[in-house]
Amino acid sequence: MLEGLNRALDLVEERLDGELDPAELARIATTSEYHFRRLFSALAGMPLSEYVRRRRLTVAGAEVLAGERTLLEIAVRYGYGSGEAFARAFRAVHGVGPGEARRTGATLTAQPRMSFRLVVEGNSSMRYRTEAREAFRIVGDRARVPLVHEGENPAIAAQIRGLGQETLGRLAALSAGEPAGLVSAVVHLADSREEGVELDHWYGVIAEPEAGQAYDTLDVPAGTWAVFEVEGPYPQALQYLWRDVFTEWFPSNPYESRPGPEILSVRPAEDWKTAAAELWIPVRHTGA
């Protein structure tokens, strides 16, 4: 898969001054567009669209300094409909407008061309299994929260505290499927996995299909799930597992992510310093 991703990046470079179709990039990487966008974001630390924008403005910046084309010609070449739009985008990346950069020879900011490679350390392994599941329902409380890569997520902590022990007890009594007990379910609202991007976070249980009319509900279609196990410091071990699934496991296995909630079941120690957990990721087999 990494070879396919790098071929797709080659095409990005060829098309910086032309039309670029994410679906075509996904075909080159031999995966779905949905998985390609999410995998790229996890590996690169930014959405595909942001990488393309930065690369275009990097190359455009070199042409601005070279002075061989007018600023409007450069703007049109790299997909901007007006000089004003180009100037705003240019300033956002480089901190200076194109006209001033050309006049003064200003220092610009470059986005290097990316390539992906697999680093094999050999000092850890990932425990996982796959499960085919019938349709099920998540019942609980939904909140819009920002993504936090490391440490406690204050918005999620406040959401859970706000439910109170009585509500949590009533929800726990509705648990009727795996993973059992209270769980977190994350529904990503965008392809990006950048820190701070908003997502929907559900805190509740896997329940019977008709349960939980008094709560927020999320009906999940039938499908296959990859289930990963981890035990270690809380919450770091859980967050690192989430990262490693997308940056290490997917590029090395014949699966791709598919739309659906990512579900986390946590069994903390009494002091909450460590925890054991299962992470359920919706996947499909690629047939490779």
Q: What is the DSSP string of the chain?
A: -HHHHHHHHHHHHHTTTS---HHHHHHHTTS-HHHHHHHHHHHHSS-HHHHHHHHHHHHHHHHHHHTSS-HHHHHHHTT-SSHHHHHHHHHHHHSS-HHHHHHHT------PPP--------S---EEEEEEE--EEEEEEEEEEE--SSS--HHHHHHHHHHHHHHHHHHHTT--SSSPSSEEEEEESSS---TT-EEEEEEEEEE-TT--TTSEEEEE-SEEEEEEEEEEETTHHHHHHHHHIIIIIHHHSSEEE-SS-EEEEEEE-TTSSEEEEEEEEEEEE---
Q: pLDDT tier at 70 (50, 70, 90 boundaries)?
A: very high
- Asked if 157 and 240 sit in the same domain, the reply is yes
Read off the CATH number of the domain in which 83 is found. Answer: 1.10.10.60
Q: Report the pLDDT value the prediction gives residue 122, as an integer from 0 to 100.
A: 42
Specify if 119 maps to a domain: no
- Asked if 20 and 158 sit in the same domain, the reply is no
Q: Report the pLDDT value the prediction gives residue 224, as an integer from 0 to 100.
A: 94
- Asked if 73 and 147 sit in the same domain, the reply is no
Please determine, for residue 288, whether its predicted confidence score (pLDDT) is greater than 60.
Answer: no
- Asked if 210 and 175 sit in the same domain, the reply is yes
- Asked if 281 and 145 sit in the same domain, the reply is yes
Please determine, for residue 74, whether its predicted confidence score (pLDDT) is greater than 70.
Answer: yes
Looking at mean pLDDT, say which of 39-53, 84-98, 141-155, 195-209 comes out highest.
84-98
Q: Report the pLDDT value the prediction gives residue 83, as an integer from 0 to 100.
A: 92
- Asked if 155 and 267 sit in the same domain, the reply is yes
Q: Report the pLDDT value the prediction gives residue 2, as an integer from 0 to 100.
A: 75
Domain, as residue range, for 271: 127-285
- Asked if 272 and 149 sit in the same domain, the reply is yes
Specify if 175 maps to a domain: yes
Domain end marker among 51, 71, 104: 104
- Domains in the chain: how many in total? 2
Read off the CATH number of the domain in which 156 is found. Answer: 3.20.80.10
Query: Which tens digits make up the pLDDT trace of 207-259?
Result: 987 777 789 999 999 999 999 998 899 888 888 888 888 888 888 788 999 99
Tell me the mean pLDDT in the region 54-69.
92
Specify if 136 maps to a domain: yes
- Asked if 209 and 90 sit in the same domain, the reply is no
Query: Which tens digits make up the pLDDT trace of 115-129?
Result: 887 554 444 567 888
Specify if 112 maps to a domain: no
- Asked if 75 and 145 sit in the same domain, the reply is no
Please determine, for residue 198, whether its predicted confidence score (pLDDT) is greater than 60.
Answer: yes
- Asked if 154 and 48 sit in the same domain, the reply is no
Q: Report the pLDDT value the prediction gives residue 39, as an integer from 0 to 100.
A: 87
Specify if 252 maps to a domain: yes
Specify if 230 maps to a domain: yes
Tell me the mean pLDDT in the region 157-167.
94
Specify if 120 maps to a domain: no
Specify if 89 maps to a domain: yes
- Asked if 136 and 199 sit in the same domain, the reply is yes
- Asked if 44 and 173 sit in the same domain, the reply is no
Q: Report the pLDDT value the prediction gives residue 119, as an integer from 0 to 100.
A: 55
More confident call, 212 vs 200? 200
Q: Report the pLDDT value the prediction gives residue 150, as an integer from 0 to 100.
A: 79
